Structures are given as C-alpha cells and as structure tokens.
Amino acid sequence: MEHSPHALAALTMQRINAYGLAPTPENFARIYYEISIKPLPLLVPDAGRILEAAPCDSIMRALQDLVAHTHDATDRLAAGLTDKQVAMNASAETLRQSRVPNDTMRQVVTLLAHASGLMELIETGRQELQQSQQALRQMEEKLAETTRELGIDALTNTLNRRGLANCLNRETARAKRHRDKLSVIMADLDNFKQINDTYGHEAGDLMIVHFAQLIRFVIRDADYVARFGGEEFVLILPEADQLHAEMVALRLQTILDKTPLWYGDREITVTFSAGIAEYRDNEEGAELLRRADTALYAAKAAGRNCFKLAT
C-alpha cells in the first residue's frame, strides 16, 4: 500500500520513537527510505489485523482504571453519606425530645427521606459498577484466551510457542517441498535475572519488549519472530542459508549494543547469546529447533555475547 509523504514522515517518527533512536537527520532519512521502498513488517498478518497491533490490552487497562476510580469515588461518597445520615438521625432524635415547632420537625423528616433515597441511588450505582468490573474482567480473560489461540504473545505481540510450532511446521514443509533454504536463530538475553533483581520486573518486561522491537528492525518482512519463553526468542528465516542467519545475528548484536533501554533516568544495557541452525533435507521443525537450542547452550558455555553454529 502506498503512503503519502506526510504519512511516511509520521510512520518514520513512530518507528524512531519505538526503537529509541535519536531523532537525527541521518536516522530519519534511513528509516524514511526503508519505509518508502518496502511495507512495514507484519509478523502475524491475520492476528495483527484482528487485534490492530494489539491496542486491546491498553484499552482494557484504561477502562479498568476508569471503572476502579469511579468505584472508589462512589464508595467514598456512599460512606460520607452514611456518616451524614447517622448524624442527621441523631439530630432528629434531639429535635423530637426538644420543644421544636412541628414545621421544623416536618422539614427535618423530609430531609432525612431525601437522604435515604439518595443512599439507595448510590448503592444501586455501586452495584452496577461492580457488575461492569466483572464484565470487564471477563472480556479481558476472553481477549487473553483469543490471543493465545491466535498464537500471539501478549507482551511482545510476536508469535507465542503455539504460533511458533505452526509457523515452523509450515516453513519446514515449504522448504522440503520446494527444496528451499531455511534457517533458525534461537537467541537468549544474557544474565537477564540481574535486570529483574536490580531494576524490578517492570524493567525486565520493558527490556523483553525492547529486544523484540530490535529483532523486528533487523529481519525482513518475510521472516518471523517468536517468544519461546521468558527472555528467549526464535527467529525463523525462510529462504535464508546459514551465512544470512549469521549476518542477521551480527546486525542484532550491533544494534543492541548501540541501543540501550532507558528506564526512567537509568540506562540498561544487555547482550544476548544465540544458536544458528540451517534446515537439512527432510528435517522436522522440532529437530531444527533442537539443534539451534544446542548451539545456543554452546554459546552460553563459551562466555555469552556470541553465537554458535549447529552441527
């Protein structure tokens, strides 16, 4: 789909912000040129179109926050009215025991009746809000279930393990049918536990998302990325031999080294280790992945921050 220059400029700035790059003329020109000559990466077209780049989770959180805020405010109002009603009842009893004209007594009784009616209205509103909260929770659970069924990881919007299995089986079958090349990279962030221990799990999640975004930047539109588990990712590279996979791993090392994650005012750097495996004739997807995983362990054993080739 063609974009107007204004739309391309807007997409360029969005990508610069997403990758945490400095808004320099060089970065703008490079990314603008990239967008203008090829479509934006879409790793899971069907699921992406359904979820529209996964805005649903943010919308659900915003709705929950709104309902929770309204619910809390209503509870405070109801509690305040309860205290006021208790005080008004006490005042009415005092009036009954004193020599106050009947007109004044009727006014007090009328006021108490209005307050009682308002309390009933507040209680009804609070119950309706509780029902809305329950409905939102059910919607969120259904959305999460649908996302899993679509094969998408909720945190990174990449493939999850189910999506990975389907994609890998499809691509190995295609490579077998057409005698095409196919390579897999299994990458794992080094010493990731230290990030969680030092900065907290929120920073850890942000680093995982950051890493997934950088992976998208270095792969082609025809490639796939899946979150295998935790901080571990699998890159599926159709029609790519081992040499091409090595070049992708090197580009990812370079961009990760130059693009730290900013968490508040702190700069968090990390490295990754990887294993690379090229498809063999008649090899099943599970075996291809197992060889990449074995090479990854070899890279970890070699000191991390490197990649090894599967045998």
**10-residue block means of pLDDT along the chain (311 residues)?**
60 76 70 59 41 49 61 65 66 60 61 64 70 66 56 92 93 94 98 95 96 95 95 97 96 94 94 98 94 97 97 91
**What crossing angle do the helices spanning 5-18 and 25-37 adopt, rounded to 10°?**
120
d(CA 187, CA 114): 67
Question: Which ranges of the chain would DSSP assign to H, the alpha helix?
Answer: 5-18, 25-37, 45-51, 56-97, 102-149, 161-178, 192-199, 201-218, 242-258, 285-301
> Residue 181: how many CA atoms within 13 Å on its side-chain side?
12
| CATH architecture of the domain covering 153-309 | 2-Layer Sandwich (3.30)
What pLDDT sits at residue 21? 77
CB-based burial, 179-199: b 16+ in 10 Å, e otherwise: eebbbbbbbbbbebeebeeeb
d(CA 84, CA 76): 12
d(CA 299, CA 303): 7
d(CA 270, CA 193): 11
Edge-to-edge order in the sheet of strand 307-309: 224-229, 232-238, 182-189, 272-278, 307-309
What pLDDT sits at residue 140? 60
- Report the 10 Å Cβ neighbour count for 139: 14
d(CA 280, CA 176): 9
Q: Calculate the CA 190 to chain-centre distance.
A: 21
Contact 36, 8 (CB under 8 A): yes
Three-state secondary structure string covering 32-52: HHHHHHCCCCCCCHHHHHHHC
d(CA 253, CA 4): 33
Instruction: Find the helix or strand (DSSP H, E) in which 222 lies.
Output: none
d(CA 184, CA 68): 45
Beta-bridge mates of residue 159: 152, 226
What pLDDT sits at residue 41? 43
pTM: 0.57
**What crossing angle do the helices spanning 242-258 and 201-218 adopt, rounded to 10°?**
130
What pLDDT sits at residue 269? 96
What pLDDT sits at residue 98? 60
Question: Which ranges of 150-238 would DSSP assign to H, the alpha helix?
Answer: 161-178, 192-199, 201-218
Cα–Cα separations (whole angstroms), residue 79 to 40, 66, 83, 86: 53, 20, 6, 11
